[in-house]
């Protein structure tokens, strides 16, 4: 019996007069591992931003049956953002300080960190196997380690829903593998619902059970099996469909 | 018909007005750089000259740099008056660029001998750690000696100087070190025994001597009588070498040089050592005698440029100089009988020539005239100490600048803050009110009379 | 050594030295706390930049015959907001935004000064303060502003950290990024305006930049960086003032030199640690 977590109905987002997303409707159940793919500029990040309440939208987004207003605090959602450009090698913060900052989502003013918060941070880092890096400076860690620290930051407040936006772009294949297996573990063992955004259908194919294909509007949403058997998709992708399905 | 008449009359009047305007602009244009020269020019030329001051009101004079418009103004003028190369170092460059060959350039410091920045230093103005600039110990057998002070380049390095003369049990450099503290105290005391040319000096453990040099002589001599063989220490406010022309400063009865066995500071070749700090003091206008000279120089130039009004200018100059001379006399008389003989100044001391003229000393926490220089805390502390030691009730500050240091000293010691206006420049309000150089100096007279507690 | 100690004892007898130390220490604390955030966000030169703007605001004030501080504080706060908006909206880099506003300020000041037909006082001397000429009122003002800065940076520490580290993620966390940025920049403009008037531009600018970058040489954690910057700043003031007394140098410049010395020291220490 699948419990609905996220329900999107008739979502429409306009950016500077351009329609970034048009009439998106879909729902995600608890425990799903959903991939979100589409070409560049197709609105993947926009969809994520809408779910996170960072952009104004028309239509409805319900999270656990509660309607998401703009700029609501993301208590139940963990987010690993796409860019890593801010990670200045010289930034003077330890991994622990970065991870624990994830709890600020759920604190009221004046935000005071408790010992419980630090414990949660360490636990999140343990799950991701980076607890030993707690007092190391974040700028000095490798790309893979940094990604896992940021993932720990996303998880520290024990969210039910994890959104990963192009998480492995800058990683080498080995780190990429390690990262994805961790996420898989979170999904299968800890029951975290995952939305993985990637323009690389191949990666999605290896891990996700469902696929959203976006091109400003919803081109496809369903299981991978449905994707491979869909003649509509054959028309749309041509030979590409075969490649993707073969990998899965 | 009526219209024609009105038009003709109108035109006629217009011509008259234009003619008078032309006549009015037949006045010679004089551009002066800073306030004193501007004011002198106006006093000489009155309404027969068009006087312009380059320095905008309220602006600090030493940092001024002319703008393009100023160059044009100078170029269009008949006469350009400046104060001298040390006050307006930019003048020469600008004049190179001026194309007007008819421009009469007046260096109002002509004929005035400038003194070095440091030469007029009063008591301890070097901001050093001691009240004395030089100390020496001598082994003197009993007998007669003469200590001489000579004019150098036509003037004494200082019109007067304090000296401490003590006998000591120690020898060499220890003699100086042992007596240092006592000597400092004596030098800082208000009370000093005055001595003039030919008056005898003997070892004095009570207070310092104040030696005044005879301006009518090239050399001032002080006989010294030593009763007992022994070691004697001297502490002076200036280096004795500053007063050496051709001869050594201390000789015995056989006219033989007597050298110190130890001295402080211990530099190498002292002889004919002149105390130059590089620049010269440019503030000649604060000396009322020099001011008169400046007035004459300017008047001469105006007369040459505008011979029609020659008598007018020369007469005005004479009248004005008489006023300056009268004020000079007042200053002389009053400042000779003051309880305090030192001006405590919280800014850059521009009154060097003034102080020299009336035999006053001064204390300031600044060396030189760079307006952006900051004082060290020790200099401020010393100023505070001097105020407290002297019992003076006033600290003076300069015009137009925020008197930060003076205020600090005033807060610490409780003495009053008073303006001693250097007349470099005036404020916008002062300019509007038509304040003159004489007004300023008269105010200064009042302020000094009260502050120095004169009769 | 004892001679130095004697001189220090001598120095501290004077009220103006005591005031210099108190005002200097509090100014150092406030500036260095903000300095860490400002340096990391490429706003290091905001001290100098706002000083140039102050020049224009004082010129305006004197022109209107008004009290300089009354005109300066709001106008400089406004200029700082312009810098912030240039950075956010017009996507101008922090230091370039400062440069833009700063050159505008100085040019405006010069034009006003030229066309005003002169003033009643010399602008510069009234604009720039000196640590040795701090009045009692200024001491209290410095204590007040610095305690305000410390209080606000403490209360908003975590928000400031998040925004400085990752502005986008801070927004996701529900932090009001715009508000935090405004708080940071307005606090800065307040302490800079007062600092310029009380201790002078050179000292304010140096106390913002130098202790922060010295602390950044020894990177332990973010909290440690802020604490270390504060320590460097306060110690530099105390050492600087006493050193300037003993050596007979101007105090402001000596304090800056001490800060530079700390930088060299922590640079070498940082190398040694890593």
Sorted by where each starts, the structural domains of chain C and their CATH numbers stand as 2-267 (1.10.3470.10)
Q: A79 and chain C: CB distance < 8 Å anywhere?
A: yes
Model pLDDT, residue B444: 93
Distance in angstroms (rounded) separating the CA atoms of residues B235 and B183: 7
Give the residue, B453 or C1, on which the prediction is more confident.
B453
Look at residue B277 and tell me if it is in a domain.
no
Q: Is there a single domain that holds both residue B141 and residue B260?
A: yes
**CB-based contact C161 A90, cutoff 8 Å:** no
Distance in angstroms (rounded) separating the CA atoms of residues A230 and B1: 107
Interface of A with C in 128-147 (CB under 8 A): 135, 137
Q: Is there a single domain that holds both residue B78 and residue B146?
A: no
Chains that touch C (3 or more CB pairs under 8 A): A, B
Q: Is there a single domain that holds both residue B80 and residue B44?
A: yes
Q: Where are the beta strands (DSSP E) in B172-243?
A: 192-195, 208-212, 219-226, 230-236
Q: Which residues pair with A217 in a beta bridge?
A: A215
**CB-based contact B401 C125, cutoff 8 Å:** yes
Q: Which of A52, A98, A113 sits opposite C165 (nearest CB)?
A: A98
**At which of B215, B231, B264 does a domain end?**
B264
Average pLDDT over residues C148-153: 94
**CB-based contact C119 B377, cutoff 8 Å:** no
Model pLDDT, residue B26: 75
Q: Which of C171, C173, C221 sits opposite A97 (nearest CB)?
A: C221
User: Burial, A173: exposed, middle or buried (Cβ in 10 Å; 0-12, 13-18, 19+)?
Assistant: exposed
Tens digits of residue pLDDT in A29-80 = 888 999 998 888 788 888 988 888 788 888 888 887 676 654 455 678 888 8
Interface of C with A (CB under 8 A): 40, 155-156, 158-159, 161-162, 165-175, 215-216, 219-225
Distance in angstroms (rounded) separating the CA atoms of residues B248 and B243: 9
Model pLDDT, residue B124: 35
Of the listed ranges A30-34, A225-229, B270-274, C181-185, the least confidently predicted one is B270-274
Q: Which residues on chain A are in Cβ contact (under 8 Å) with C169?
A: 79, 81, 153
Distance in angstroms (rounded) separating the CA atoms of residues C159 and A105: 10
Look at residue B388 and tell me if it is in a domain.
yes
Tens digits of residue pLDDT in B148-161 = 898 887 788 888 88
Look at residue B120 and tell me if it is in a domain.
no
Distance in angstroms (rounded) separating the CA atoms of residues C102 and C50: 6
**CB-based contact C161 A91, cutoff 8 Å:** no
CATH number at residue B99: 3.40.50.1980
CB-hemisphere CA count at 13 Å for B24?
A: 7
Model pLDDT, residue B372: 60
Q: Which residues on chain A are in Cβ contact (under 8 Å) with C211?
A: none
Chains A and B touch, using 3 or more CB pairs below 8 Å: no
Tens digits of residue pLDDT in A166-196 = 887 777 788 788 888 888 888 888 888 999 9
What is the value of pTM for the model shown? 0.75
Interface of A with C in 225-244 (CB under 8 A): none
Q: Are B250 and B147 in contact (CB under 8 A)?
A: yes
Distance in angstroms (rounded) separating the CA atoms of residues B226 and A87: 85
Nearest CA to CA, how far is A73 from chain C (Å)? Answer: 5
Token readout for B323 is: 């006023």
Angle between helices B404-413 and B377-390 (to 10 degrees): 50
**CB-based contact C251 B376, cutoff 8 Å:** yes
Q: A84 and chain C: CB distance < 8 Å anywhere?
A: no
**CB-based contact C120 B375, cutoff 8 Å:** no
Residue span of the structural domain in which B430 resides: 339-451
Look at residue B375 and tell me if it is in a domain.
yes
Q: Are C109 and C124 in contact (CB under 8 A)?
A: no
Look at residue B276 and tell me if it is in a domain.
no
Q: What is the ipTM of this complex?
A: 0.84
Tens digits of residue pLDDT in A88-117 = 778 899 999 999 988 887 777 777 888 888
Q: Which residues, other chains included, contact A99 with Cβ-Cβ below 8 Å and sequence gap of 6+?
A: A121, A124, A125, A149, A152, A153, A156
What's the angle, vertex CA C197, arms to CA B429 and CA C22, rounded to 5? Answer: 140
pLDDT exceeds 60 at position B121? no
**CB-based contact B400 C126, cutoff 8 Å:** no
Please state the domain extents for chain A. 4-76+160-247, 93-155
Q: C133 and chain B: CB distance < 8 Å anywhere?
A: yes
CA distances from A64 to A3, A5, C145 (A): 9, 5, 47
Nearest CA to CA, how far is A194 from chain C (Å)? Answer: 17
* CB atoms near residue B228 (< 10 Å): 10
Average pLDDT over residues C243-267: 93
A vs C, Cβ pairs < 8 A, gives 72
Q: What are phi and psi of A213, to 5 degrees?
A: -110, 125
> What is the CATH code for A4-76+160-247?
3.40.50.300
Look at residue B99 and tell me if it is in a domain.
yes
Q: Which residues on chain C are in Cβ contact (under 8 Å) with B381?
A: 10-11, 14, 17, 245
Q: Where are the beta strands (DSSP E) in C126-172?
A: none
Of the listed ranges A47-51, B270-274, B381-385, the least confidently predicted one is B270-274
pLDDT exceeds 90 at position C214? yes
Model pLDDT, residue B268: 40
Nearest CA to CA, how far is B408 from chain C (Å)? Answer: 5
> Which residue on chain C is closest to A99 by alpha carbon?
C162
């Amino acid at each position: 019996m699948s419990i609905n977590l996220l329900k999107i109905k008739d979502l429409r987002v306009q950016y500077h007069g351009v329609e970034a997303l048009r009439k998106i409707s879909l729902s995600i159940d608890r425990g799903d591992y959903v991939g979100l793919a589409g070409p560049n500029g197709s609105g993947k990040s926009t969809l994520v931003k809408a779910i996170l309440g960072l952009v104004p939208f028309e239509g409805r987004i319900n999270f656990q049956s509660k309607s998401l207003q703009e700029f609501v605090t993301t208590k139940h959602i963990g987010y690993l953002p796409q860019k890593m450009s801010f990670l200045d090698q010289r930034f003077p913060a330890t991994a622990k300080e970065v991870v624990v900052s994830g709890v600020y989502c759920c604190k009221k003013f004046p935000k005071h960190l408790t010992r419980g918060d630090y414990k949660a941070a360490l636990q999140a880092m343990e799950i991701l196997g980076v607890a030993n890096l707690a007092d190391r400076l974040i700028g000095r860690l490798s790309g893979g380690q940094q990604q896992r620290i940021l993932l720990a930051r996303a998880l520290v407040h024990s969210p039910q829903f994890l959104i990963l936006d192009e998480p492995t772009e800058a990683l080498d294949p080995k780190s990429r593998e390690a990262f994805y297996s961790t996420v898989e573990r979170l999904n299968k063992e800890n029951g975290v619902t995952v939305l993985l955004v990637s323009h690389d259908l191949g990666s999605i194919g290896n891990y996700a059970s469902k696929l959203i294909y976006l091109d400003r509007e919803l081109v496809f949403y369903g299981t991978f099996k449905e994707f491979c058997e869909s003649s509509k998709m054959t028309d749309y992708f041509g030979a590409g469909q075969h490649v993707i399905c073969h990998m899965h | 018909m009526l219209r024609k008449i009105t038009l003709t009359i109108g035109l006629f009047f217009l011509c008259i007005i234009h003619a008078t305007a032309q006549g009015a602009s037949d006045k010679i244009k004089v551009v002066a750089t800073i306030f004193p020269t501007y004011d002198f020019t106006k006093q000489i030329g009155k309404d027969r000259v068009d006087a312009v001051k380059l320095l905008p009101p309220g602006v600090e004079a030493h940092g001024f740099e002319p703008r393009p418009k100023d160059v044009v103004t100078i170029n269009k003028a008949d006469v350009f008056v400046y104060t001298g190369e040390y006050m307006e170092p930019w003048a020469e460059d600008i004049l190179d660029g001026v194309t007007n060959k008819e421009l009469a350039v007046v260096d109002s410091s002509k004929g005035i001998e400038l003194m070095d920045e440091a030469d007029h230093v009063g008591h301890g103005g070097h901001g050093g750690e001691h009240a004395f600039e030089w100390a020496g110990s001598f082994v003197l057998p009993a007998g007669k000696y003469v200590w001489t002070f000579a004019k150098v380049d036509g003037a004494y390095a200082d019109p007067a100087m304090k000296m401490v003369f003590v006998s000591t049990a120690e020898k060499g450099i220890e003699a100086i070190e042992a007596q240092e503290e006592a000597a400092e105290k004596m030098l800082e005391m208000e009370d000093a025994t005055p001595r003039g040319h030919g008056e005898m000096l003997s070892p004095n453990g009570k207070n310092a001597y104040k030696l005044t040099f005879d301006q009518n002589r090239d050399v001032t001599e002080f006989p010294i009588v030593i009763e007992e063989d022994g070691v004697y220490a001297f502490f002076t406010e200036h280096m004795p070498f500053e007063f050496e022309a051709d001869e050594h400063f201390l000789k015995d009865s056989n006219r033989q040089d007597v050298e110190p066995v130890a001295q402080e500071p211990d530099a190498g070749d002292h002889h004919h050592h002149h105390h130059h700090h590089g620049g010269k003091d440019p503030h000649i206008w604060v000396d009322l005698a020099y001011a008169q000279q400046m007035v004459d120089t300017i008047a001469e130039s105006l007369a040459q440029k505008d011979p029609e009004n020659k008598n007018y200018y020369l007469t005005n100059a004479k009248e004005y100089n008489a006023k300056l001379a009268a004020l000079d006399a007042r200053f002389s008389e009053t400042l000779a009988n003051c309880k305090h003989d030192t001006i405590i100044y919280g800014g850059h001391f521009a009154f060097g020539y003034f102080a020299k003229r009336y035999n006053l000393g001064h204390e300031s926490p600044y060396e030189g005239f760079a307006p952006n220089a900051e004082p060290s805390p020790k200099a401020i502390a010393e100023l505070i100490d001097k105020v407290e030691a002297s019992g003076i009730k006033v600290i003076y500050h300069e015009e137009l600048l925020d008197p930060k240091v003076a205020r600090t000293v005033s807060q610490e010691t409780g003495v009053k803050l008073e303006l001693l206006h250097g007349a470099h420049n005036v404020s916008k309000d002062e300019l509007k009110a038509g304040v003159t150089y004489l007004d300023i100096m008269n105010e200064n007279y009042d302020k000094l009379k009260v502050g120095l507690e004169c009769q | 050594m004892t001679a130095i100690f004697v001189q220090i004892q001598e120095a501290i007898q004077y009220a103006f030295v005591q005031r210099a130390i108190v005002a200097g220490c509090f100014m150092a604390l406030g500036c260095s706390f903000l300095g860490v955030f400002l340096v990391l966000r490429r706003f290091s030169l905001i001290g100098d930049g706002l000083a140039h703007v102050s020049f224009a605001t004082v010129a305006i004030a004197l022109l209107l015959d008004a009290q300089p501080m009354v005109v300066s504080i709001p106008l400089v706060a406004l200029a700082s907001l312009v810098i912030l908006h240039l950075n956010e909206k017009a996507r101008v880099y922090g230091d370039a935004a400062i440069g833009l506003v700063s050159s505008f300020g100085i040019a405006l000041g010069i034009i006003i000064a030229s066309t005003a037909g002169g003033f009643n006082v010399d602008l510069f001397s009234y604009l720039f303060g000196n640590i040795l000429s701090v009045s009692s009122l200024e001491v209290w003002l410095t204590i007040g502003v610095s305690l305000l800065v410390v209080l606000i940076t403490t209360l908003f520490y975590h928000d400031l950290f998040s925004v400085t580290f990752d502005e986008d993620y801070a927004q996701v966390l529900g932090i009001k990024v715009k508000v935090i940025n405004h708080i940071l920049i307005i606090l800065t403009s307040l302490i800079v305006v007062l600092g310029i008037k009380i201790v002078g531009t050179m000292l304010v600018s140096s106390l913002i930049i130098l202790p922060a970058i010295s602390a950044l040489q020894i990177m332990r954690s973010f909290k440690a960086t802020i604490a270390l910057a504060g320590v460097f700043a306060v110690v530099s003031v105390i050492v600087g003032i006493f050193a300037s007394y003993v050596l007979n140098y101007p105090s402001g410049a000596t304090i800056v030199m001490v800060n530079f010395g700390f930088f060299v020291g922590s640079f070498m220490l940082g190398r040694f640690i890593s």
